[in-house]
């Protein structure tokens, strides 16, 4: 089986992530969406919420599995999960400059190749940090996030059921939650 890993903090998941992961799903038999935890970072959403956003937002992709990833080395995670490739989205040359040394180290540590996919032009300017800032100031982020994320970042945009949606998706997560409901 040709398995790849798409790692990220997904704090929160946005349509740029979904676009890159969808393209990766067409290239590989299985894609593990590894929701990482970096204990040095301050997250807006809990690990369970971030996993739930991914399960919900990627449910239309049958060959995707959303899995939690601890704070260990990504190379070790790939080896332990039988992945031969990492998929990283690139918004600009700055992303490439940041990712290239890590790709080289991952190849050295675990013989895992990194596949870089340029982000579609509709999402090249989008980051989770920017979306959180815009939402906090009352800006319209609807074109850039799935509905469950929108309702959490902007509760007035939904019907108040966002917490229930996240809780329901989180209860489906057992460490190997899949893209199928």
Could you give the domains of the chain?
A: 3-178 (3.40.50.620)
pLDDT digits (tens, 9 = 90+) for 98-141: 999 999 999 999 999 999 999 989 999 999 999 999 999 999 99
| Ramachandran quadrant class, 10 (left: phi over 0; alpha: psi -120 to 50; beta: rest) | left
DSSP calls for 111-129 = --EEEEEEPPTTTTT--HH
pLDDT digits (tens, 9 = 90+) for 29-81: 999 999 998 888 889 999 999 999 999 999 999 999 999 998 889 999 999 99
What confidence score (pLDDT) does residue 131 get?
95
What confidence score (pLDDT) does residue 173 get?
43
Task: Evaluate if residue 83 carries a pLDDT over 80.
Answer: yes
* H or E stretch covering 72: none
Mean pLDDT to the nearest integer, 149-170: 59
Residue 17 appears among annotated catalytic residues: yes
| Active-site residue, from 17, 65, 151, 152 | 17
| Active-site residue, from 3, 23, 91, 107 | 91
Q: Name the pTM for this structure.
A: 0.84
Residue 128 appears among annotated catalytic residues: yes
What confidence score (pLDDT) does residue 100 get?
98
Residue 91 appears among annotated catalytic residues: yes
């Amino acid at each position: 089986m040709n398995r790849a890993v798409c790692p990220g903090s997904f704090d929160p998941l946005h349509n740029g992530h979904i676009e890159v992961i969808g393209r990766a799903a067409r290239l590989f038999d299985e894609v593990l969406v590894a929701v990482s935890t970096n204990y040095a970072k301050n997250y807006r959403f809990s690990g369970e919420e971030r996993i739930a956003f991914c399960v919900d937002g990627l449910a239309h992709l049958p060959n995707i599995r959303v899995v939690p990833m601890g704070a260990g080395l990504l190379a070790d995670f790939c080896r332990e999960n039988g992945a031969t490739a990492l998929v990283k989205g690139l918004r600009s040359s700055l992303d490439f400059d940041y990712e290239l040394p890590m790709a080289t180290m991952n190849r050295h540590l675990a013989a895992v190749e990194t596949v870089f996919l340029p982000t579609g032009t509709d999402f090249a300017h989008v980051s989770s940090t920017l979306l959180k800032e815009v939402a906090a100031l009352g800006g319209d982020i609807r074109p850039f996030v799935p509905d469950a994320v929108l309702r959490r970042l902007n509760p007035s945009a939904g019907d108040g059921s966002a917490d229930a949606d996240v809780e329901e998706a989180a209860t489906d997560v057992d460490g190997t939650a899949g893209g199928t409901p």
